[in-house]
Amino acid sequence: MRRRQTRNKKDIGIKVIPIGGLNEIGKNMTLLECQDEILIIDCGMSFPDDEMFGIDIVIPDFSYLMANKEKIVGMVLTHGHEDHIGAIPYLLKNINIPVFGTRLTLGLVGNKLKEHNVIGDLRTVIPGEKFKLGKNFEVEPIRTTHSIADAVCLSVNTPAGIVFHSGDFKVDYTPVDGEPIDFSKLAELGKEGVTLMLCDSTNAVRPGFTASEKVVGQTIESIFRTAKDRIIIATFSSNVHRVQRIIENAVKVGRKVAVSGRSMENVVALAIELGYLDIPAGTLVDLRTARNIPDDKLVIITTGSQGEPMSALSRIATGDHKAIKLKKGDMVILSSTPIPGNEKTVSNVVNRLFEKGAEVIYSDIADIHVSGHACQEELKLLHSLIRPKFFMPVHGEYRHLIQHSHIAESLGLSKDNIFVLDNGDILNVKRDKAHIDRNQIEADAILVDGLGVGDVGNIVLRDRKMLSESGLIIATAAIDRFGGILVSGPEIISRGFVYVRENEALIEEAKQVVKDTIEKCLENNIKEWGSMKAKVRESLSSYIFQTTKRNPIILPIFLEV
Amino acid sequence: MRRRQTRNKKDIGIKVIPIGGLNEIGKNMTLLECQDEILIIDCGMSFPDDEMFGIDIVIPDFSYLMANKEKIVGMVLTHGHEDHIGAIPYLLKNINIPVFGTRLTLGLVGNKLKEHNVIGDLRTVIPGEKFKLGKNFEVEPIRTTHSIADAVCLSVNTPAGIVFHSGDFKVDYTPVDGEPIDFSKLAELGKEGVTLMLCDSTNAVRPGFTASEKVVGQTIESIFRTAKDRIIIATFSSNVHRVQRIIENAVKVGRKVAVSGRSMENVVALAIELGYLDIPAGTLVDLRTARNIPDDKLVIITTGSQGEPMSALSRIATGDHKAIKLKKGDMVILSSTPIPGNEKTVSNVVNRLFEKGAEVIYSDIADIHVSGHACQEELKLLHSLIRPKFFMPVHGEYRHLIQHSHIAESLGLSKDNIFVLDNGDILNVKRDKAHIDRNQIEADAILVDGLGVGDVGNIVLRDRKMLSESGLIIATAAIDRFGGILVSGPEIISRGFVYVRENEALIEEAKQVVKDTIEKCLENNIKEWGSMKAKVRESLSSYIFQTTKRNPIILPIFLEV
């Protein structure tokens, strides 16, 4: 009897289903499914790539969850960065499930839900304290270090054994809050036996170790000591540790601190409320009264270190910021490195700041930022502690996942036990075996444009791309098809093609081409709208291409009169 | 008498006029003007930035030159990179002037002119041999080292003394062609006395030295020795030295070499013809017959190391290349680092290559590229050799120019003798004094789109940006204004807005909004087209924004019937 039970239990498998975060940076979301229960880990957003014209943000595809609502036992969060919590409001609008996270993480989620007018069932967890979810999952959040406070990795006990999810992490032996990774717990897990590890791959191509946040603190201190006038320092609002370091160093050199930028104000307020920021009384001043403070006694912390066009720092750089006008002698610090794709935008802001006479310190010229993600030696450390039977690299582009696989192999894990998945694949895991089923569930990038979620698809994006490249030309006419008469028009209207006032001859000739084509159609009794439009499109686009070597969208619009 | 002449001669000044290359990377072009003579140094193009939708390339503004054609005595080139020669065809289409350059430089210019069907008066110069231009200029090209063969810096003797232009350079003590910088000549110049130095600032923010091209050769060799199957290596076609190193190492490991990609084929043919590539007989094979060569005996050199969408490497990555189909075991090497702004495109290509099963080596994981530009220590070396009276940093964004100024200051040059200009400013230089006149000539970025040069301006670009973000909606109707009757329509047509088939209700409601607005206009006797269109634009855009939070361009088109 007992033996049978054991065998049965051994046979219960789980499915690991990545909906986002594989072959991309961002929109991290993974499901653990066992029998009739689904546990969700994280629910992040990502930023649109260059081809996603007009898109605000990108979120994971919730179709599988919508079809399996009743199975969901809850969502567990690893930390409060946008790429892990940013899509939660979009999910909670449709499904009411409990969301588990540490205090700061849930604080950030709460702010986000408020913005979206969504109510959430948020439940605080404590690192080291296990909790059950459904009948199949027991979750233990474990303290880890990352570029945001209160980050955890997750140990999930399942019928197929322990699944360990690293979350995002780096190994910081000297974190700002004095709370390093719970190594003993990780070692214990490794000893107990972990069936599957999912691990952050963001920095898997970087050799060595990521430097401690402490290094940035030292750079900040030395820069603060040399500054003669006002200091303006930009960083990610969610990097509460960095903000803490900035404030500590401001205090050290006898300066007050003001905060600018909505998200920075919100996060600082939240972090103070929850006790994640330790600010001596009298240090924080209101930005509006900051003008009464001498320049050499003030530090302004702000957002926009990625050059975001509407951010406080961009507005300071262009002179559009209401409260902060740049002066010669100001020192501006960008405490960040550009996220891939943002390099040019950041350089533009730096150039504008220099032009305004500020001294600008940025990542090219000082160690003013450290990554939040583990480099190769740190990954090896985690692998060596956890010693999982199976390994699945997560959080990264394909090149990162492949490189992470190589690292796991180099540590002795068999190639057969390493699983590189794509979003929408399923990894079937039992205690002693695992295999991938490819392409099982829908896991597309869902594009959010204004209020529309998912209504901008490939056709609309293709049109936007074509419009952006050569604009469009509209040829319009009122036609009496019955009488075979061109009643009014044709009119030629263009947008994004050429500046019409300087190209009247071209437009006149185009008009003539359209007129001739319509009249020929009517003569030859071609009166079906589709055929007429095709003829006009053909003759006009060929005329335009010959004269300009451009390919605008050609849009014939005919009205029956 | 003699004294008077001297004084007179001392009084003749020159103007230094940057038309491109300041506060930007690319389209380098500088004028030296003295009395009624203009000498042009370089004539480069640049690539459009992200906001320049649909633009192919950017060239300098030639208006000042067009207005002063008869003054031009000639153009002198420093080297054959696109950012120094790319705009020549556009200038020579309008002005016939002699173009002076070294052999390879002119070979590349010749290819370019052929493509554009332009005839040029190209005159070969030899480093170290002086030549007169007009009555005011004597030019000496001086051997330097850069990431292209046959690069020179220029010493121009003028009535105001020597103007030294560094061109683009790095200090490579072990260049591939064995021809290092002519240091003794530079030292001699410094001794003789240089009035003004213009110097490359591209790497002015980077500390230390740029590594020698030799380092890349070593990396290539060690990679080639580990490769088991086919090797595909991408680099800039103009980097003849790199191509030479690749071929040498292919020969070392007993492999044949095939070339793919039009620009690579052209440059290799030219370099062989001019003797800049030394290839053992039997090494080069045709790509079409390369399939008969065993995988482990073949190296394919190709273009596309910047992830350019139409390049050979991109087509290999997507499987669209006709002759080269990627196989598991192939090794693909990107011998380059992404130019700022190209990071994501390059990553995408790398990911696609990995997905096809290739082993991919790129700059994140190996020392497979070195810069062609001098870092801080090399700049200091050049400053110390030339010891100019006045200094003007060129070739760089504002942050680079400023940093380069700091370097010059740190070497003891007075701040008053350093001039940071913008394109279109004029530096007036005499032997003992210099000053800037700001904003003197037109020096805009001229956008080339297809056959159009300069006809896409800010209005067209703004339209393209708006179209790319939210698309457009056209509301069209045929109206009998005299009778006050809406005869036909309104029709609603959109592009790049929403996928119409899935949003019929929205489009129907929009139609109703337009209909109501037109009818109200007619009722209220508002019959002027401008006013009617304004009303429709207003009501429709407000309806669309309320329902979707998007701002498409609204285009009412009415026909009188």
What distance in Å separates residue B71's CA from the closest CA in chain A? 30
Give the pLDDT score at B560.
87
Instruction: Indicate if the pLDDT at residue B2 is higher than 50.
Output: no
* Partner residue facing A464 (CB), from B354, B468, B502: B468
Distance CA A413, CA B309 (A): 37
Give the pLDDT score at B525.
87
Give the pLDDT score at A4.
46
Q: Is-cis flag, bond preceding A490, omega within 30?
A: yes
* Partner residue facing A364 (CB), from B49, B205, B555: B205
Q: Contact A468/B54, CB-based, under 8 Å?
A: yes
Q: Contact A491/B557, CB-based, under 8 Å?
A: yes
Instruction: Indicate if the pLDDT at residue B5 is higher than 70.
Output: no
SS3 category, B129: coil
Distance CA A394, CA A198 (A): 6
The sign of the CA dihedral A102, A107, A112, A113 is positive
The DSSP line for B307-369 is: --TTSHHHHHHHT--SS----TT-EEEE-S-PPTT-HHHHHHHHHHHHHTT-EEE-TTTS---
Q: Is-cis flag, bond preceding B60, omega within 30?
A: no
Query: Which chain A residues are Cβ-neighbours of B487 within 8 angstroms?
Result: 478, 561
Determine contact, residues B396/B377, Cβ cutoff 8 Å.
no
Distance CA A261, CA A384 (A): 42
Please state the φ and ψ torsions of residue A444, each to the nearest 5 degrees: -75, 170
User: Is A339 part of the contact surface with chain B (CB cutoff 8 Å)?
Assistant: no
Tokens encoding A208 = 């060595």
Amino acid at B174: T
What distance in Å separates residue A160's CA from the closest CA in chain B? 30
- pLDDT per position as a tens digit, A114-138: 999 999 999 999 999 999 999 999 9
Q: Contact B467/A465, CB-based, under 8 Å?
A: no
Who has greater pLDDT, B561 or A37? A37
Instruction: Indicate if the pLDDT at residue A370 is higher than 80.
Output: yes
Chain B, 368-407: which have a CB under 8 Å from a chain A CB? 397-399, 402-403
Cβ–Cβ pairs < 8 A, chains A and B: 202
SS3 category, A9: helix
Stretch among B387-391, B507-511, B557-561 having the lowest mean pLDDT: B557-561
Q: pLDDT confidence of B231, banded at 50, 70, 90?
A: very high
* Partner residue facing A354 (CB), from B53, B399, B495: B399
Give the pLDDT score at B41.
98
CATH 3.60.15.10 residue window(s) in chain B:
10-208+371-453
- Angle formed by the axes of helices B376-386 and B398-410, to 10°? 60
CATH 3.10.20.580 residue window(s) in chain A:
460-560
Instruction: Indicate if the pLDDT at residue A506 is higher than 50.
Output: yes
Q: pLDDT confidence of A340, banded at 50, 70, 90?
A: confident
Measured between CA atoms, the residue of chain A closest to residue B502 is: A455
User: Is B410 part of the contact surface with chain A (CB cutoff 8 Å)?
Assistant: no
Q: Which candidate in A165, A241, A373, A400 is catalytic?
A: A373
Architecture of domain A10-208+371-453: 4-Layer Sandwich (3.60)
Average confidence score pLDDT of chain A: 93
- pLDDT per position as a tens digit, B433-469: 999 999 999 999 999 998 888 888 888 999 999 999 9
Instruction: Indicate the pairing of strand B152-158 with strand B137-143.
Output: antiparallel
Query: Which chain B residues are Cβ-neighbours of A396 within 8 angstroms?
Result: none
Distance CA B119, CA B485 (A): 61
CATH 3.40.50.10710 residue window(s) in chain A:
213-361
Give the pLDDT score at A9.
58
Q: pLDDT confidence of B51, banded at 50, 70, 90?
A: confident
Q: Cβ neighbours of residue B400 under 8 Å, at least 6 residues apart?
A: B201, B202, B203, B204, B205, B393
Topology of the domain comprising A213-361? Rossmann fold (3.40.50)
Average pLDDT of the segment spanning A193-210: 96
Give the pLDDT score at B10.
60
- pLDDT per position as a tens digit, B158-214: 999 999 999 999 999 988 888 899 999 999 999 999 999 999 999 999 999 999 988
* Partner residue facing A344 (CB), from B49, B472, B502: B49
Q: Say which residue the tokens 């020579």 belong to.
A: B92
Give the gyration radius of chain A's Cα atoms: 29
Give the pLDDT score at A3.
46
- pLDDT per position as a tens digit, B65-81: 999 999 999 999 999 99
Chain A, 286-325: which have a CB under 8 Å from a chain B CB? none
Secondary-structure percent of chain B, ordered helix, strand, coil, rounded to 5: 35, 25, 40
Q: Contact A495/B553, CB-based, under 8 Å?
A: yes
Architecture of domain A460-560: Roll (3.10)
Distance CA A312, CA A320 (A): 9
Give the pLDDT score at A489.
84
Distance CA A528, CA A515 (A): 17
Q: Contact A476/B351, CB-based, under 8 Å?
A: no
Measure the CA angle with vertex B456, ends B453 and B457; round to 5°.
120
Average confidence score pLDDT of chain B: 93
Q: Contact B496/A470, CB-based, under 8 Å?
A: no
Q: Contact B468/A54, CB-based, under 8 Å?
A: yes
User: Is B549 part of the contact surface with chain A (CB cutoff 8 Å)?
Assistant: yes
SS3 category, B59: strand
Active site residue A200: yes
Secondary-structure percent of chain A, ordered helix, strand, coil, rounded to 5: 35, 25, 40
User: Is B470 part of the contact surface with chain A (CB cutoff 8 Å)?
Assistant: yes
Active site residues of B: 200, 373
Distance CA B380, CA B419 (A): 17
Distance CA A507, CA A473 (A): 10
- pLDDT per position as a tens digit, A277-302: 999 999 999 998 888 999 999 999 99
Determine contact, residues B478/B514, Cβ cutoff 8 Å.
no
How many residues are there in chain B?
Answer: 561
Q: Which helix (H) or strand (E) holds B509?
A: helix B504-523
Best to test chain B binding among A344, A506, A547 (most B CBs inside 10 Å): A344
Instruction: Indicate if the pLDDT at residue B7 is higher than 50.
Output: no
Determine contact, residues B513/B540, Cβ cutoff 8 Å.
yes
Chain B, 496-535: which have a CB under 8 Å from a chain A CB? 496-499, 502-503
Give the pLDDT score at A176.
84
- pLDDT per position as a tens digit, A424-444: 999 999 999 999 999 999 999
Give the pLDDT score at B160.
97
Instruction: Indicate if the pLDDT at residue B286 is higher than 60.
Output: yes
Specify the pTM: 0.89
Q: Cβ neighbours of residue B86 under 8 Å, at least 6 residues apart?
A: B27, B43, B44, B45, B57, B59, B112
Buried b (16+ CB within 10 A) or exposed e, B109-121: beebbeeeebebe
Measured between CA atoms, the residue of chain A closest to residue B557 is: A476
Q: Contact B474/A206, CB-based, under 8 Å?
A: no
User: Is A465 part of the contact surface with chain B (CB cutoff 8 Å)?
Assistant: yes
User: Is B56 part of the contact surface with chain A (CB cutoff 8 Å)?
Assistant: no
Average pLDDT of the segment spanning B535-552: 94
Distance CA B12, CA A561 (A): 75
Q: pLDDT confidence of A504, banded at 50, 70, 90?
A: confident
- pLDDT per position as a tens digit, A507-561: 999 999 999 999 999 999 888 889 999 999 999 999 999 999 999 999 999 988 8
Q: Which candidate in A200, A330, A425, A449 is catalytic?
A: A200
Please state the φ and ψ torsions of residue B61, each to the nearest 5 degrees: -85, 115
Instruction: Indicate if the pLDDT at residue B4 is higher than 50.
Output: no
Distance CA A24, CA A396 (A): 5
Instruction: Indicate if the pLDDT at residue B8 is higher than 60.
Output: no
Give the pLDDT score at B452.
86
What distance in Å separates residue B341's CA from the closest CA in chain A? 6
